[in-house]
Chains A and B, each alone.
Chain A
Amino acid sequence: MRILLVKCFRPFESTPSDKMAFEIVRIIQETGNSCELVRIPETDQENLLRLMRTLEIENTDWLVSLDGPSHEIRHRSKILVELMPEFGSKSIDTQLLGQTGVLRVFLPMETINPANLDAAKIVQRFANIEELAGLIVGAID
């Protein structure tokens, strides 16, 4: 399976969500699937949405969008991942949308404040990501 992750990013800023995305790529690759991350630079909201709606993704079995703007990308087999602070204490929840092939995954995660980030929290967060990656691969299988 070829799984393409997409998210927005701020150039020259390494955020926890960027690290999370790279970690998901690594974990999915370890499952034997091909996985790449595409990062789209943030710009004003209107242009960003136009850009996302214009993107043409080929040669990809599953598209995993990791934030709101990238959910706008068109693809026949899409998984939407959302970071939902309100799910913080719960396990990963999933919701099948009406649209065929779209699975919405809510990743439990508090709002990230890089200044407050410490290694222990990253490890804890990565444990959640492994669960998420497993869930993504499981959904695809």
Chain B
Amino acid sequence: MKIALCSSSVPFVQGGYRNIVEWLHAKIVEHGHQVEILYIPQDDQAQTRVEQFGMYRLIDLAQSAERIICFRPFSYAIPHDHKIVWFIHHLRIFYDLWDSSLRGFPDDARHRNLRDTLRGLDTAALVEARKIYTNSRIIGERLKFYNGLDSEVLYPPIYKPENYRNLGQNDEIACVCRIEEHKRQHLLVEAMRHTRTPVRLRLSGRCADAAYGIKIRQIITENGLENRVSFENRWITDQEKFDTFANCLASAYLPMDEDSFGYPTLEAAHSCKPSLTAIDSGGVLEFVEDGRNGNVCQPDPIDLADKMDQMYMNKSKSKNMGIEAREKIGELQISWTHVLEKLLK
């Protein structure tokens, strides 16, 4: 079968939104199908959104692809008789973040009209799909609430889970993801000021916003945490990542209101390591259950420090929570077998 995987992209910005496409590509090819990836560059300017939506309607894959699988907005606007949508997020400033400081333009009649137009276009394009899957329950709930559409949760696996293993427990809480303000690595560093045990923190990931990297570095140096906090401001290699998760005490991942459980949570679980997250981390809470396979705390340094200390002091419990995290993968049917069964049926 000829299958086109369609999504939008921001040039030179990597991350989970590309992983889901590229890993699926590799897995479908392994199953003997022909696959093309189609990324359409898209920018963040509100005033061009409708035109950009219309651009996807001009793309014609009807003759070349037997099936298309669409991911990020507005790729699902591409017309096709056999369109499957694996919906990973809305353009949230036009949806649940409309009333937040992230909107970036006034709440006036013109922009409300734009918002309502985009919501209508989204709904119209999405109803064309034969099936809509979402990458988390929370995304499915938003689709139902804002677009009135039913969907099914299909959690995205990581590419080669067999590369993740458990080689024991050192003293480190590892946070492996992009270094960004909304991922809140600064809270973890601030928490290290309040810990009472020799627990350590490792931050690994590329920092797109230099100012945030400087802020992290400042918190480390101003509080004399250089010996207990490792800050690697770069993409670590896959092997380094496998080794980090294999040896760490636990993973920390506390994004603000995340759309999904987040790959770091899953990577840790495949290494039988628990995760530390926050009560406002969104989709992460679909995976992490407080006290069972990780710890869920308030997004403040003192509570975080307390949980980090607990993970350090009770390594036996941390180990058991890691085993439970591995179990949870199966409970949620997070596997490529399951994904391919759904997307290719």
Task: Flag A55-70 by CB within 8 Å of B: 1 or 0 each.
Answer: 1111110000000000
User: Which residues of chain B come closer than 8 Å to A43, judged between CB atoms?
Assistant: 58-60
Give complex CA distance A36, B9 in Å.
11
Q: Which residue of A lies closest to B13 (CB)?
A: A59
| Chain B residues whose CB sits within 8 angstroms of the CB of A44 once the complex forms | 60
Q: A12-B2, A12-B34, A12-B64 are in contact. Are A51 and B55 (CB under 8 A)?
A: yes
Of B38-46, B225-233, B270-278, B291-299, the one with at least 4 CB within 8 A of chain A: B38-46
Q: List 10 A-B contacts (CB under 8 A).
A: A11-B2, A11-B65, A41-B61, A43-B60, A54-B54, A55-B40, A56-B42, A56-B45, A56-B52, A59-B11
Contact A58 B38 (CB under 8 A): no
A50 contacts the other chain (CB 8 A)? yes
Closest residue to A43 on the B side, CB-wise? B60
With A34-B12, A40-B40, A51-B55 already in contact, 20 other A-B pairs whose C-beta atoms are closer than 8 Å: A2-B12, A4-B11, A4-B12, A4-B41, A11-B36, A11-B38, A12-B2, A12-B34, A12-B65, A38-B11, A44-B60, A48-B58, A50-B55, A50-B58, A54-B52, A56-B52, A58-B11, A59-B10, A59-B11, A60-B12
Q: How far is the CA of A60 from the CA of B10 in the complex (A)?
A: 9
Smallest Cβ distance from A99 to chain B, in angstroms?
Answer: 21
Q: Which residues of A contact B (CB under 8 A)?
A: 2, 4, 10-12, 34, 36, 38-41, 43-44, 47-48, 50-51, 54-60
Contacts of B13 in A (CB 8 A): 59
Least Cβ–Cβ distance between A34 and chain B, in angstroms: 5
Mark interface residues in B1-45 (1 if CB within 8 Å of A CB, else 0): 010100001111100000000000000000000101011111111
A-side interface mostly:
mixed
Q: Are A11 and B41 in contact (CB under 8 A)?
A: no
Is the C-beta of B314 less than 8 angstroms from some C-beta in chain A?
Answer: no
Q: Does B337 contact A (CB under 8 A)?
A: no
What is the 8 Å Cβ interface bit string for chain B, positions 47-91, against chain A (1 contact, 0 not)?
Answer: 010011011001111001100000000000000000000000000
CB of B11 within 8 A of CB of A60, answer: yes
Interface residues of B (CB under 8 A from A): 2, 4, 9-13, 34, 36, 38-45, 48, 51-52, 54-55, 58-61, 64-65
- In the complex, how many angstroms separate the beta carbon of A64 from the nearest chain B beta carbon? 12
Among candidates B34, B38, B44, residue contacting A41 with C-beta atoms closer than 8 Å: B38
Residues of B within 8 A of A10 (CB): 64
Most chain-A CB neighbours within 10 Å: which of B4, B54, B64? B64
Nearest Cβ on chain A to B68's Cβ, whole angstroms: 10
Give Cα distance in the complex from A34 to B10, angstroms.
14
Distance between Cα atoms of A57 and B61 in the complex (Å): 22
Residues of B within 8 A of A51 (CB): 55, 58-59
User: In the docked arrangement, what's the CA distance between A50 and B60, Å?
Assistant: 13
Closest to A39 in B: B38
Question: B78: nearest residue on chain A (CB-CB)?
Answer: A41
* Cβ of A51 to closest chain B Cβ, rounded Å: 5
Q: Chain A contacts of B44 at CB under 8 A?
A: 58
Cross-chain contact of A11 among B40, B54, B61 (Cβ < 8 A): B61
By a CB distance below 8 angstroms, the chain A residues around B42 are 56
CA of A51 to CA of B57 in the docked complex: distance in angstroms? 9
